[in-house]
A and B are shown apart, each in its own frame.
Chain A
Amino acid sequence: MTVENKIAVHVCNGTGGMVAGGGEVLQAFKDAFAESGVKAEIGDRCSVNGVGCRGLCAREVLVDITVGDEVTTYQYIQPDMVSRLVEEHIIGGTPVEEFMVGKDYHEFLSRQKKIVLADCGRIDPEEIDAYLDVGGYSVVEKTLKTMSPDEVIQLVKKSGLRGRGGAGFPTGVKWELCAKNKADQRYIICNSDEGDPGAVPTLIEGNPHSVIEGMTIGAYAIGADMGFVYIRTEYPLAVERLKKAIDHARERGFLGQSIHGSTFDFDIRIKLGAGAFVCGEETALISSIVGERGMPRAKPPFPADEGLWGKPTIINNTETFANLPHILRNGPEWYSSIGTETSKGTKIIALTGKVRNAGLIEVPMGTTIREIVFDIGGGIPDGKLFKAVQTGGPCGGCVPQEHLDLPVDYENLARVGSMMGSGSMVVLDETDCMVNMAAFFLAFNQAESCGKCPPCRIGTKRLFEILTGIMEGRGRKGDIELLLDLSADIMDSSLCGLGMVAPNPVVSTIRYFRHEYEAHIRHKRCPAKVCRSLLTYFIRADLCRGCGVCAKGCPVGAITGIKKEPHRIDTSACVKCGACYDTCKFNAVLKE
């Protein structure tokens, strides 16, 4: 069989793809190939596989059809479209133009630099051979045979890799601290308790073996023979694929005793998290693994000294582990050549919000926010204006227009009052109210406080209540100062990392959008027209045709008027639901 004849169909089976119907599309391809006529036509030349996510979840289901080395990508594929793809492209040899992705899809991809995600969307995550075909597990084998644990640590230190969990602690340094401790037992933990729609599910769903390989390298470096992957129950697909991958790796001798014929033993267990946000904090995560309530404790002692069951423990993030095989394969110089002075390598970013190409991207550290939002993300839809981008998840901060050209790395984001976090970016446009946004994130943060320390437990609740007051027109002079004072005190006195950053959305929105707070408090006005209590709906007499649709739809009967004559809204009865605004065909309903 020659290469020219070979046809490969890749159907996205990540969570995004599955939700859009990826499972059905995959089955439709399999069914189509099983039909006798088709089978006779293409024989065994054609393979069809589910693959992990390649990022642009907004266009699911994405299907790649590779003939020889020519790849054609189709978007929005549904099962009923499969027969045309099979007949026209696979049998007929002519790609179906109308289903193909446009130029912007290629732009979305071409401006990224995929290292960690390179094989996601290319290999079948449920087949270990697919990973072996792209060189998988060769790095760990070479490492075990040719390098000492200390050499691995020195190499990782030299590469400049920093923890992808958010704090950006140098990975090699952390390992060295752990390895230095005298202990009869050490543990390594992969922190996959990420709440943002980001790297964790995609990496583990798309390429679980790369995480296993990375963990094995880490375990060898610090001398751990047991590893845990702490992953949320909310990622069932990732958990299932990880289980499968661990089983397969064990069958091949990549996990278990005497890995790759060496004297090194290592195995991995999965621990499911019950969904507490705070369990991403390493000491809370350890409590959760040992079966206690996930509550952080004071550090020191750090987990590298006293961690799981009191033994030296290394906790790294999923993305950090997935970087390791690449660093060891290509060398520390290659890795440190990517990125900025202080932050090396690439970063996976979950790009969402008011942006055309929402999805998961991987860019070198130092890429500017403008490039991420406008070049890769395709800019703001519906011609709206960019306002800010919220980075680092619910505990991050916003980066406004004036910092659009900020090269993204740990230090720069911190400098402008935000943070890297797990790398999520939510794009906000002119129709987003910053007070409302701060309240939205605080609502989450206060609910997720573990309750151990008062500043976080009660303080974030009070922040949320003050914000709600401002949004509902009860804002008072001095509220902004009170918010800032309380935020500073919470950040300074909280026990763990969660409380330390939980007020971030408040502080950073006040820093850049103080005028919006002032408009709410002083003029009882929401400039973005979001805060319902501050809005007044009225009908412009010159535009109203008196069709009566708004009156019919008003749930409280606040709109009155004679047919074919301008109607009016009784503002004292109006509950500001916005139904009239949405239904008026003549744009006669205004909110102010």
Chain B
Amino acid sequence: MINLTIDERKVSVKEGAMILDAARELEIFIPTLCYDPRLKPYGGCRLCLVEIEGMSRPVSSCTTPVAERMVVTTHNDHLYRLRRTILELLLSDHPNDCMVCERAGDCTLQDLAYFYGLRDNRFRGEMRKFEEHDANPFIQRDMNKCVLCGKCVRVCDEVMGVNAIDFAYRGLSTRISTPYEKDLDCEFCGQCMSVCPTGALTSKVWAGEGRRRMDVKYTDTICPYCGCGCNITLHSVRDRIVKVNSRADNGNKGWLCVKGRFGYEFVNSPDRLTTPLIRREKNGDLEPATWNEAISLIAGRFEDIRYKHGPDALAGLASGRVTNEENYAFQKFFRAVIGTNNIDHCARL
């Protein structure tokens, strides 16, 4: 263990830990935009600057490992001034359209601007004006709101191994770009979107469904799509799912795939059946029926088949689009009631 002093408080942390980790252990708040404990240290946003006794200039606490007897200051007038200047600079090249932004209320940049009380800005000048033309069906990319924290690039590389995006150009024109600036064409896992601290990357699927609101209900559940069983959180307003995400502190660390993240439109779909349908005549149309009618018909046919050919003549295939409880009941029914092990699920890996 390494012993150091942060803001006149002593702390012992594991060797190799960064100063920021140690400070968070002491519940000292240091602002960050580019830091994510799930990704490699980056040191790009410069907000987490701290002063170390004996060093001539501040260092980024997210990239500087702790050392024995290190004396760290995380807050003083000078650091406050540097952080404020950096935020002012970021906001001087930001659309500042929080009123209509999808991420308002859930935006780190907005939180920090609020925290530092940045109503006025000393800096004014040229702003980036990138056109939005990405025709992909899932992710809205508004690079004018990008703070270039690089989290999206890093998650795409370090976690997904896809490398669909990277930095391009230099100076103020630096931007996150796809190869040759074509439309995003990747797995659409949406990991980039999930780590974006601003409104630069948002979901087209959930757009306009409502931002962070008082009446949103959060339901932690398990993604039904495959055997991985990722943790997800359903955001619902009344009976509508308005968004799905995953918490960073769970087993799958908040990472999801394209289905787990975006594949819930069917829940609210008007095309869903609301009553059983029975085809009463050969080549006839499917006609609405009552549940009693439908269940009696199925039960009768099951019994017929089992009587004539034995229980193994029947097999059940469960769906990823129903709940785990329903899937459980379905397999129980096949094993205990029908008497066969012929039961499978569409997402068996």
Contact = CB atoms under 8 A, between A and B. Distances in A.
A561 interface: no
A88 interface: no
Interface string A449-463: 111111101110110
Contact of A493 (B42, B85, B126): B85
Interface string B166-177: 110111111000
Contacts of A453: 43-46
A410 to B, nearest CB: 15
A486 interface: yes
A451 B170 CA distance: 6
A492 B82 contact: yes
Contacts, number: 105
A462 B123 contact: yes
A457 B43 contact: no
A148 to B, nearest CB: 32
B28 interface: no
Interface in B83-98: 85-86, 89-90, 92-93
A452 B60 CA distance: 13
Given A449-B171, A458-B172, A462-B89, A493 B148 contact: no
A399 interface: no
Interface string B118-161: 00001101100000000000000000000110100000000000
Contacts of B172: 446, 449, 451, 457-458, 461
B65 interface: yes
Interface stretch (A58-66, A69-77, A295-303): A295-303
A273 to B, nearest CB: 14
Contacts of A278: 170
A495 interface: yes
Given A451-B174, A452-B148, A489-B81, A465 B125 contact: yes
A159 B65 CA distance: 33
Contact of B90 (A293, A458, A485, A486): A458
Contacts of A447: 170-171
A489 B172 CA distance: 18
A448 interface: yes
Contact of B169 (A451, A455, A465): A451
A20 to B, nearest CB: 33
A28 B244 CA distance: 78
A268 interface: no
Contacts of A298: 41-43, 59-60, 63-64
A465 to B, nearest CB: 4
Contacts of A288: none
Interface residues on B, range: 35 or more
A447 B173 CA distance: 8
Contacts of A485: 85
Interface string A282-305: 000000000001010110100000
A151 B172 CA distance: 48
B193 interface: no
Nearest to A443: B171
Contacts of A465: 125-126
A369 interface: no
Given A297-B43, A494-B46, A489 B85 contact: yes
Contact of B171 (A454, A461, A493, A495): A461
A490 B155 CA distance: 28
A482 interface: yes
Nearest to B169: A451
B145 to A, nearest CB: 14
Q: Identify whether the interface residues of A are mostly helix, strand, loop, or mixed.
A: helix
Among A454, A489, A491, A493, find the residue whose CB has the most chain B CB atoms closer than 10 A: A454
Nearest to B56: A492
A447 B174 CA distance: 10
B58 A492 contact: yes
B182 interface: no
Interface string B4-45: 000000000000000000000000000000000000011111
A417 to B, nearest CB: 16
A393 B43 CA distance: 27
B128 to A, nearest CB: 10
B272 interface: no
A200 to B, nearest CB: 21
B46 A451 contact: no
Nearest to B83: A493
Among B45, B89, B167, B169, find the residue whose CB has the most chain A CB atoms closer than 10 A: B89
B288 to A, nearest CB: 60
Given A298-B43, A461-B125, A482-B122, A449 B82 contact: no
B49 interface: yes
Nearest to B85: A489
Among A300, A482, A500, find the residue whose CB has the most chain B CB atoms closer than 10 A: A300
Contact of B57 (A462, A486, A492): A492
A297 B41 CA distance: 9
Contacts of B45: 453-454
The 6 closest A-B CB pairs, nearest first, are A451-B174, A298-B43, A298-B63, A458-B89, A465-B125, A489-B85
10 contacts: A298-B41, A298-B43, A451-B148, A451-B170, A458-B123, A459-B89, A462-B92, A493-B49, A493-B86, A495-B44
Interface of A: 276, 278, 293, 295, 297-298, 300, 446-455, 457-459, 461-462, 465, 482, 485-486, 489, 491-495, 500
